[in-house]
Amino acid sequence: MTSVLPVHPLHPQLDRPDPTGTLAATVGVTPVLRVAAPFTDDERGFWAKLEGFNPGGIKDRPAMHMVARAKARGDLRPGARIIESSSGTLGLGLALAGMV
């Protein structure tokens, strides 16, 4: 048995993307896929998280949280710069979070 929960707003089986959705709303809406037969019997399957459905990368959630908290504290105001020393996916996540 194969099932995907939840269906991502940009999933190819949907007629079209959700026009009311925002980039921020797609972060964290990561579908999971039940993998069983033919790879293993149904009782021994596993759930695979499909991170490729996130708009950026694996660090989108923590980056969105960091930016939201900084805004709530008043440390980050509109037009301010986000400075972070990163050579990886957190920097990409912060760039995404700064756009939304």
Q: What is the pLDDT of residues 42-52, one digit of tens each?
A: 678 888 888 77
Name the catalytic one among 27, 56, 59, 60.
59
Q: Has residue 19 got a pLDDT over 60?
A: no
Q: For residue 46, what are its two tokens?
A: 């596993």
Average pLDDT (44-72) is: 83
- Between these two residues, 86 and 21, which has the higher pLDDT value? 86
Rounded Cα–Cα distance for residues 5 and 38 (Å): 20
Question: Exposed, middle or buried: residue 96 (CB in 10 Å: 0-12, 13-18, 19+)?
Answer: buried
**HEC string of 23-87?**
HHHHCCCCCEEEEECECCCHHHCEEEECHHHCCCCCCHHHHHHHHHHHHHHCCCCCCCCCCCCCC
CB 3 within 8 A of CB 35: no
- Amino acid in position 35: V
Q: Is 49 a catalytic residue?
A: no
